[in-house]
């Protein structure tokens, strides 16, 4: 019985299954059907697959050798629905992006340097470029380190990601602040279209738990109103059936860093 080579890795605050494109069917429908079976969808527990029963742990990275000599690898992100039979390529994932460089070294697509290795990555979903740099002492990926991020227990090696300047503007509306659906926001696009909202402008502290925010149906309706109005302003058109732009609530930091966020 033959199987499909796969490497499970955490990237940022997500976990996903990383594949070489050559190990998957080239036809998208066949590929997506296989990935649904591998991840165990549709099933809210994903009990018969590798998925972790949550959108943040039901993700796939498909990595391939590019046709561009100025790029080391191509990275296609696929979001696998948990309780639905859907595989989507309609957005990027910066979290899984953090694992693409180490994966490329582990799979022999990019040779490792002694010390640190930089991998130039083309994000196929959007065409944007990024360079990931991570420790490779002795020519081997070192996953241990002191880097800590909120939402992930323990520490690990840092992965520094530098995004190339895109042809698209960082401020897609041309303004740093503007009123959208009665709320002052900032619309940005640095690889992921996002609407930044001061939590206090919605009557929130910004320190609410995800469970508290998800249970607030009035807040959900207001946020969706902001998202639907922001979409056309950001050049995204009608976003009623898409997952972008993302929405992030901002508040002062409570432990460390520069800001506290709650992202939808």
Q: pLDDT of 74-106, one tens digit each?
A: 999 999 999 999 999 988 899 999 999 999 999
Nearest to 158 by CA among 207, 210, 99, 114: 99
Confidence of residue 254 (pLDDT cuts 50, 70, 90): confident
Query: Is pLDDT at 243 greater than 90 in this prediction?
Result: no
> What is the pTM for the complete model shown?
0.86
Q: Which residue has the tokens 């207001």?
A: 222
- C-alpha to C-alpha distances, 246 to 39, 102, 156, nearest whole angstrom: 24, 27, 27
Cis (ω within 30 of 0) for the bond into 16?
Answer: no
The alpha carbon of residue 212 and the mean position of all alpha carbons in its chain are separated, in whole angstroms, by 23
Report the pLDDT value the prediction gives residue 71, as an integer from 0 to 100.
97
Q: Which sign does the torsion angle of CA 193, 197, 202, 204 carry?
A: positive
The alpha carbon of residue 103 and the mean position of all alpha carbons in its chain are separated, in whole angstroms, by 16
CA–CA separation, 146 and 158 (whole Å): 8
User: Which pLDDT tens digit goes with each residue over 139-188?
Assistant: 999 999 999 988 899 999 999 999 887 767 899 999 999 999 999 999 99
CA–CA separation, 256 and 149 (whole Å): 10
Query: Of all residues in the chain, what percent carry a pLDDT higher than 70?
Result: 99
Query: Is pLDDT at 2 greater than 90 in this prediction?
Result: no
Report the pLDDT value the prediction gives residue 245, as an integer from 0 to 100.
94
Mean pLDDT of all residues in 106-112: 98
Task: Compute the C-alpha angle 131/70/92, nearest 5°.
Answer: 45
CB atoms within 10 A of CB 56: 14
Report the pLDDT value the prediction gives residue 1, as an integer from 0 to 100.
47
Report the pLDDT value the prediction gives residue 167, as an integer from 0 to 100.
67
CA–CA separation, 105 and 185 (whole Å): 40
Domains, the chain, ranges and CATH? 7-163 (3.10.310.10), 178-263 (3.10.310.10)
């Amino acid at each position: 019985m033959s199987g499909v080579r796969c490497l499970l890795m955490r990237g940022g605050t997500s976990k996903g299954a990383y594949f070489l494109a050559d190990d998957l069917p080239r036809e998208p429908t066949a590929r997506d059907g296989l990935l649904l079976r591998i991840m165990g969808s549709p099933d809210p527990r994903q009990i018969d697959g590798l998925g972790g029963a949550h959108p943040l742990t039901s993700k796939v990275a498909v990595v391939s050798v590019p046709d561009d000599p100025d790029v080391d690898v191509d990275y296609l992100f696929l979001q696998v629905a948990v309780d639905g039979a859907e595989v989507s390529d309609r957005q990027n994932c910066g979290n899984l992006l953090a694992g693409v460089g180490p994966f490329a070294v582990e799979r022999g697509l990019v040779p490792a340097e002694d010390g640190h290795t930089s991998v130039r990555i083309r994000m196929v979903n959007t065409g944007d470029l990024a360079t990931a740099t991570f420790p490779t002492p002795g020519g081997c990926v070192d996953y241990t380190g002191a880097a800590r991020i909120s939402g992930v227990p323990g520490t690990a090696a840092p992965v520094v990601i530098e995004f190339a300047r895109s042809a698209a503007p960082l401020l897609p509306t041309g303004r740093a602040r503007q009123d959208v659906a009665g709320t002052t926001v900032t619309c940005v696009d640095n690889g992921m279209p996002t609407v930044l909202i001061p939590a206090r402008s919605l009557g929130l502290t910004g320190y609410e738990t995800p469970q508290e925010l998800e249970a607030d149906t009035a807040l959900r309706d207001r946020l969706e109103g902001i998202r639907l109005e922001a979409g056309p302003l950001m050049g995204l058109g009608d976003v009623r059936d898409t997952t972008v732009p993302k929405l992030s609530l901002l508040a002062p930091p409570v432990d460390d860093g520069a800001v506290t966020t709650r992202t939808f």
